[in-house]
């Protein structure tokens, strides 16, 4: 048995395993004896089928199974300890011809790089204290959300909602058979309804309006029949409203405003933490040159496909192009892979990155509060899912890394509006 290495890049390698029948003979002999005792054939008592018959009838299948077992053992016993593959190793080829075995693996190697001076890493942190004005705006949105739409016998305004029938028209203004939508809802308050607002503002129930959207060859023509004009009747700021929207924690209007302000501040604080983590990841990925093994990147891209599949109810769309999707997600996957290696390096460099029982309890309590579950429910879930428990530990280790980074890198605090403009500017680059 021999293993040879071909360096594709500093992190991508092809390993070729070669062996012959002599290397595998002992494995074959043990397998034949095992199957000889299990195989039942007409004319022979159980376990008494001659070995020559077993080899003639089942030899090819038995040997192929044992070759696969042999390759797996060599991979785990010799390749993993020697080369420490990262990502999902890919078997490129397996040949068994003329009593000669050749197997080619593509493996990824952990990239070698040095951490930059963290003191030179600069990131921005959004800070924001919720104002009374923002609380009033949120209350107004909640009153609208809890309100009801009432039919009115008045002209449509920019604050109206319309119930309409829409039929497509051809270039001559004639209705197109089969292209009619009934009882469509048009909320004239929404940005996406600006074109409808221009044509339908001032109209009332029963009016029929022909309108056009687009220009030139892209022009769409419609006939809109207004069936209802509706006006929003906001909810009242009463005890029932306050109790419902504060989960019973407030009884008066002042208490509700205080509750709402606290909840909004919690949201901004959590958002700030999440955005700071993203800033740290972006800055560290940009600061380091990290080569990513192709098999590791492919593993991440496959995970993206699986996530999308789950989001679609367990089935991908019929016209889904996996190759195109992976190419679109490649840059994101590269950054995720780079951060994975950088995070590992940071964990090795920080001395007191260790997980204590209280760390797990604290993490589970925070997650339970975030998702509306109890700590005991989450503990039971993790106990029943060992893989998820390891992910939990990984999350805790990474959180500790972020805590350390906040003490090491240079953080500049900026207000919400300035931070938004900075992010917009960066996204356009």
As a whole number, mean pLDDT of residues 17-43 equals 86
pLDDT digits (tens, 9 = 90+) for 68-80: 999 999 999 999 9
Band (pLDDT 50/70/90 cuts) for residue 358 is confident
Query: Which tops the pLDDT comparison, 374 or 280?
Result: 280
Determine phi and psi for 93, rounding to 5 degrees.
Answer: -160, 150
Note the pLDDT tens digit of each residue in 83-109.
Answer: 999 999 999 999 999 999 999 999 999
Is residue 238 pLDDT above 80, yes or no? yes
Mean pLDDT over 121-131 rounds to 96
Q: Which position has the higher pLDDT, 389 or 256?
A: 256
Superfamily covering domain 2-108: Trigger factor ribosome-binding domain (3.30.70.1050)
pLDDT above 80: residue 46:
no
Q: Do domains 2-108 and 148-233 have the same CATH topology?
A: no
Contact 294, 92 (CB under 8 A): no
Q: Among the listed ranges 1-10, 208-217, 285-294, which one has the minimum average pLDDT value?
A: 208-217
Distance CA 160, CA 189 (A): 7
**Per-residue model confidence (pLDDT) at position 357:** 84
- At residue 211 the predicted structure's pLDDT band, cuts being 50, 70 and 90, is very high
pLDDT of residue 298: 96
Q: Please report the pLDDT score of residue 368 as a whole number.
A: 84
Q: What is the pLDDT of residues 138-167, one digit of tens each?
A: 999 999 999 999 999 999 999 999 999 999
Please report, rounded to a whole number, the percentage of residues in the chain having pLDDT higher than 90.
73
pLDDT at 377: 86
CATH assignment, 148-233: 3.10.50.30
Burial of 14 (0-12, 13-18, 19+ CB in 10 A): middle
Contact call for residues 293 and 264 (beta carbons, < 8 A) = no
Q: Interhelix angle for 322-349 vs 294-311, to 10°?
A: 120
Q: What is the pLDDT of residue 343?
A: 94
pLDDT value at 311 more than 70: yes
pLDDT band at 363 (very low <50, low <70, confident <90, very high): confident
pLDDT for residue 380: 86
CA distance 187 to 337: 44
pLDDT tens digit sequence for 394-429: 888 898 999 999 999 999 999 999 999 999 888 876
* Listed range (49-63, 95-109, 169-183, 306-320) with the worst mean pLDDT: 49-63
Phi and psi dihedrals of 67, rounded to 5? -65, -45
Flag whether pLDDT at 296 surpasses 80. Answer: yes
Domain locations in the chain as residue ranges? 2-108, 118-129+244-289+350-427, 148-233
Give percent of the chain above pLDDT 70.
99
Find out whether 44 and 38 touch, Cβ atoms under 8 Å: no
pLDDT of residue 241: 96
What's the mean per-residue pLDDT of the chain? 92
**What confidence tier does 225 reach under pLDDT thresholds 50, 70, 90?**
very high
Evaluate if residue 289 carries a pLDDT over 90. Answer: yes
pLDDT category of residue 329 using cuts at 50, 70 and 90: very high
**CA 43 – CA 90 distance, rounded (Å):** 45
The DSSP bridge pattern shows strands 175-187 and 161-169 to be: antiparallel
pLDDT reading at 362 higher than 90: no
Whether the pTM exceeds 0.85: the reply is no
Report the pLDDT value the prediction gives residue 43, as an integer from 0 to 100.
67
């Amino acid at each position: 048995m021999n293993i040879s290495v071909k360096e594709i890049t500093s992190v991508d390698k092809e390993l070729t395993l070669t062996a012959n029948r002599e290397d595998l003979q002992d494995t074959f002999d043990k397998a034949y004896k095992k199957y000889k005792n299990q195989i039942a054939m007409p004319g022979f008592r159980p376990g008494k089928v001659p070995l020559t018959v077993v080899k003639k009838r089942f030899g090819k299948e038995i040997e192929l199974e044992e070759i696969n077992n042999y390759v797996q053992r060599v991979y785990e016993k010799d390749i993993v300890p020697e080369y420490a593959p990262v990502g999902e190793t890919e078997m490129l080829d397996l040949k068994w011809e003329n009593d000669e075995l050749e197997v080619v693996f593509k493996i990824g190697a952990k990239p070698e790089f040095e951490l930059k001076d963290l003191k030179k890493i600069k990131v921005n942190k959004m800070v924001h204290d919720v104002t009374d004005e923002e609380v009033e705006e949120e209350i107004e949105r909640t009153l609208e959300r809890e309100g009801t739409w009432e039919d009115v016998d008045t002209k449509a305004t920019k604050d109206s909602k319309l119930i309409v029938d829409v039929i497509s028209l051809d270039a001559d203004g004639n209705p197109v058979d089969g292209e009619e939508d009934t009882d469509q809802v048009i909320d004239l308050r929404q940005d996406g309804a600006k074109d409808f607002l221009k044509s339908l503002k001032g109209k009332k129930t029963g009016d029929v309006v022909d309108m056009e959207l687009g220009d030139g060859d892209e022009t769409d023509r419609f006939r809109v029949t207004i069936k209802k004009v509706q006006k929003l009747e906001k909810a009242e700021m009463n005890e029932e409203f306050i109790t419902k929207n504060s989960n019973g924690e407030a009884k008066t209007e002042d208490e509700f405003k205080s509750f709402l302000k606290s909840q909004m501040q919690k949201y901004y604080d959590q958002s700030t933490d999440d955005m700071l983590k993203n800033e740290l990841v972006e800055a560290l990925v940009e600061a380091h040159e990290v080569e990513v093994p192709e098999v590791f990147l492919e593993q991440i891209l496959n995970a993206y496909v699986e996530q999308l599949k789950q989001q679609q109810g367990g089935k991908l769309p019929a016209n889904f192009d996996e190759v195109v999707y992976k190419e679109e997600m490649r840059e994101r996957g590269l950054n995720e892979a780079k951060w994975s290696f950088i995070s590992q390096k940071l964990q090795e460099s920080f001395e007191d990155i260790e997980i204590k029982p209280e760390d797990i309890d604290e993490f589970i309590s925070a997650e339970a509060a975030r998702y509306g579950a109890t700590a005991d429910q989450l503990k039971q879930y993790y106990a029943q899912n060992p893989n998820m428990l390891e992910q939990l530990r990984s999350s805790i280790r990474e959180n500790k890394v972020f805590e350390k980074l906040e003490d090491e890198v240079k953080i500049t605090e900026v207000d919400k509006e300035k931070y938004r403009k900075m992010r917009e500017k960066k996204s356009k680059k």
